[in-house]
């Protein structure tokens, strides 16, 4: 026996219910108005969903086009990998060194220089590293500082600076001036710090140049996209655009680490600096014991946390299509006596509150997080 043709009882019942509801709507203006409003909202939601999908597709196409415009996919990277990498950083002269790793290697070299020289001075001359600039008692020979700065640490410093200059397509031999500039009385160390900051904050050339291909780390920082970057991109890269929420998370995280680190040093004390323990973070601004050296706050704010602060601010400014060098103002404005920290706080609030430019700008494509924030707003 063949099955009966036509709709089953469930379908017929549904159609009858729909017909009844339609008849009720036609006879009741309020029901008709509610039904039309419901349909309008459904259509509006459908159009928004379609618009969102089209924008996401357009953004992906735009980003893929922006990414493939660089030669990064086909270059060969000169830096070695694995255990040989750090030997190359401190002793190799070939290749190019990007910003983040220049900063890390410079801080490592700086700490090793101070720690080793301080050990020699405290062990054999009953003095400290900081006496090398004044030597009030004439306890150690004049040549000791030159020995440490140029003979022992001179070549690693030159190797790091020469590869960083090569990343700018600048003759690496210029690094000799970077090393020798410290000999200028009084101004030498300041000029060297300024040169070091310039090497940190200035991006290298994109793609290959006269000294080799762009480093893999630099290519990854540009091509991986702001939505696929990790903490190292957030705190050390100066490429890409940073939207508001990521900037807040990054800056507050760094502030928490900064306060915790400074608080711990005051609480635990630093014996070789003559700093007494039992203090807290606020002694950075008003040390009742007077045991902390005057430069201690500058060391934490500018040497340790200066570059990460700059990296966060420069990516946020690029999201606003503002020249990234303005971030130097954000970093160093705290130098202004009394009002500096308040001015920096005001700039921070402005960076948090101001939305970035929509779509691509001259610094790259808009981040996916920023696109989502606008669409779902």
For residue range 261-315, list pLDDT tens digits in order.
Answer: 888 877 777 766 667 777 777 777 676 766 666 677 777 787 788 888 998 999 9
pLDDT of amino acid 1: 44
Q: Say if 333 falls within a structural domain.
A: yes
| Residues 233 and 199 reside in one and the same domain | no
Task: Give me the mean pLDDT over the 191-201 stretch.
Answer: 82
Question: What number of CA atoms fall less than 13 Å from residue 72's CA on the CB side?
Answer: 19
Q: What percent of the chain has pLDDT over 90?
A: 10
pLDDT tier at 161 (50, 70, 90 boundaries)?
A: very high
| Residues 118 and 233 reside in one and the same domain | no
Higher local confidence (pLDDT), 119 or 141: 119
| Residues 272 and 303 reside in one and the same domain | yes
Nearest to 371 by CA among 244, 236, 229: 244
pLDDT of amino acid 195: 85
pLDDT tier at 6 (50, 70, 90 boundaries)?
A: low
Which residues span the domain enclosing 153? Answer: 82-223
Quickly list DSSP for 62-95: HHHHHHHTSGGGG----S--GGGHHHHHHH--SS
pLDDT in tens, 79-115: 565 567 788 889 888 888 888 788 888 888 888 887 8
Domain termination residue (choose one: 200, 223, 246): 223
| Residues 255 and 358 reside in one and the same domain | yes
Strand partners of residue 364: 361
pLDDT tier at 177 (50, 70, 90 boundaries)?
A: confident
Domain termination residue (choose one: 223, 252, 267): 223
Q: How far apart are CA 129 and CA 145, in angstroms?
A: 10
| Residues 269 and 157 reside in one and the same domain | no
| Residues 262 and 167 reside in one and the same domain | no
pLDDT in tens, 339-359: 888 999 999 999 999 988 888
| Residues 198 and 280 reside in one and the same domain | no
Q: Say if 136 falls within a structural domain.
A: yes
Q: Say if 310 falls within a structural domain.
A: yes
Q: How far apart are CA 90 and CA 105, in angstroms?
A: 8
Distances in Å between the alpha carbon of 226 and those of 95, 155, 229, 370?
A: 26, 36, 5, 10
Higher local confidence (pLDDT), 354 or 118: 354
Question: What number of CA atoms fall less than 13 Å from residue 64's CA on the CB side?
Answer: 6
Nearest to 203 by CA among 237, 242, 160: 237
């Amino acid at each position: 026996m063949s099955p009966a043709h036509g709709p089953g009882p469930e379908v017929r019942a549904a159609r009858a219910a729909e017909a009844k509801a339609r008849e009720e709507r036609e006879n009741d203006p309020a029901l008709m108005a509610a039904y039309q409003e419901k349909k309008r909202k459904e259509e509006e939601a459908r159009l928004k969903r379609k618009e969102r999908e089209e924008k996401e597709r357009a953004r992906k196409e735009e980003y893929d086009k922006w990414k493939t415009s660089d030669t990064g996919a086909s270059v060969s990277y000169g830096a070695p990998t694995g255990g040989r990498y750090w030997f190359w950083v401190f002793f190799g002269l070939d290749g190019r060194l990007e910003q983040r790793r220049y900063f890390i290697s410079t801080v490592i070299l700086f700490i090793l220089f101070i720690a080793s020289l301080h050990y020699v001075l405290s062990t054999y001359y009953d003095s400290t590293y900081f006496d090398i600039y004044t030597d009030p008692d004439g306890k150690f020979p004049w040549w000791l500082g030159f020995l440490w700065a140029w003979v022992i640490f001179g070549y690693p410093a030159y190797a790091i600076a020469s590869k960083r200059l090569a990343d700018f397509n600048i003759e690496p031999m210029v690094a000799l001036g970077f090393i020798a500039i410290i000999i200028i009385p009084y101004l030498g160390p300041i000029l060297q710090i300024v040169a070091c900051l310039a090497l940190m904050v200035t991006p290298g050339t994109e793609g290959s140049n006269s000294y080799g291909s762009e480093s893999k780390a630099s290519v990854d920082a540009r091509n991986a996209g702001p939505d696929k970057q990790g903490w190292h991109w957030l705190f050390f890269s100066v490429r890409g655009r940073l939207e508001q929420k990521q900037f807040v998370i990054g800056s507050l995280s760094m502030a928490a680490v900064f306060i915790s680190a400074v608080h711990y040093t005051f609480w635990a004390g630093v014996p070789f600096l003559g700093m007494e323990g039992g203090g807290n973070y606020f002694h950075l601004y008003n040390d009742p014991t007077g045991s902390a050296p005057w430069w201690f706050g500058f060391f934490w704010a500018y040497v340790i946390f200066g570059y990460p602060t700059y990296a966060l601010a420069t990516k946020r400014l690029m999201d606003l299509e503002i020249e990234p060098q303005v971030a130097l103002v954000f970093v160093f404005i705290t130098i202004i006596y009394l009002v500096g920290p308040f001015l920096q706080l005001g700039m921070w609030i402005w960076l948090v509150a101001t939305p970035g430019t929509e779509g691509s700008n001259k610094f790259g494509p808009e981040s996916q997080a920023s696109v989502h924030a606008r669409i779902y707003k």
